[in-house]
């Protein structure tokens, strides 16, 4: 007897999986047959996905909300689809794309259309991921060009730094004593002395 399963993935722990859960709950999938991972789709090393793969048997039915829930890498999505449909012999339904329903179109034309749609959607999913990364990189570069600084703001120099640094440079005190006098670690004092010492 075949079973019905559902798989849900969100990229981070902060993302809300509610939309996917609601869509799958409408299909009367037993709660014990719903599997969910909260991590990146860049690879398939996901605990719940692996658990699901062990349970799936020939002629079982798997629902996913969209094709990129399998992952975002073009070749890996296609490989997983091949493993699921050809090696495991299960049926897959992608809710956001009715053409990706392996229960329909078992003839040559139906299989051909399904394969073409799958390849196009996989390419679009990966292309969007690449575009997002490129937009992020361009945004960071543009912000840096405008003088926006990333990371923690630099710690201000202690008021007595210039005087202490000058005494240290003349050998009137040790680096350890100078750092203690400034209230900073020795490594920080040495770094600042190198960067700002000429201005001291």
Half-sphere exposure of 9 (CA within 13 A, CB side): 23
Q: How do 61-64 and 34-38 pair as beta strands?
A: unpaired
Burial of 138 (0-12, 13-18, 19+ CB in 10 A): exposed
11, 114, 122, 198: the active-site residue:
11
Of 97, 137, 139, 90, give the one whose Cα is nearest residue 119: 97
**DSSP-assigned beta bridge partners for residue 35:** 7
| 114 in active site | no
Count of C-beta atoms within a 10 Å radius of residue 2 = 11
Give me the active site residues, please: 11
């Amino acid at each position: 007897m075949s079973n019905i399963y559902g798989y849900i993935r969100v990229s981070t722990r902060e993302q809300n999986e509610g939309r996917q859960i609601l869509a799958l709950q409408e299909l009367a999938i037993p709660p014990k047959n719903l599997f969910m991972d909260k991590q990146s789709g860049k690879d398939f090393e996901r605990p719940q996905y692996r658990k699901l793969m062990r349970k799936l048997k020939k002629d079982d039915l798997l629902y996913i909300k969209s094709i990129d829930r399998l992952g975002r890498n073009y070749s890996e999505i296609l490989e997983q689809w091949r493993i699921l449909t050809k090696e495991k012999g299960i049926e897959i339904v992608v809710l956001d794309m009715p053409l990706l329903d392996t229960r329909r179109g078992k003839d040559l034309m139906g299989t051909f259309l399904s394969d073409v749609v799958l390849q196009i959607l996989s390419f679009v999913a990966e292309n969007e991921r690449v575009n997002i990364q490129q937009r992020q990189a361009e945004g960071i570069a543009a912000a840096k060009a405008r003088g926006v600084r990333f990371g923690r703001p630099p710690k201000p120099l202690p008021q007595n730094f210039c005087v202490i640094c000058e005494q240290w440079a003349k050998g009137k005190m040790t680096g350890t004593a100078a750092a203690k006098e400034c209230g900073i670690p020795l490594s920080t004092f040495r770094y600042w002395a190198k960067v700002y010492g000429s201005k001291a």
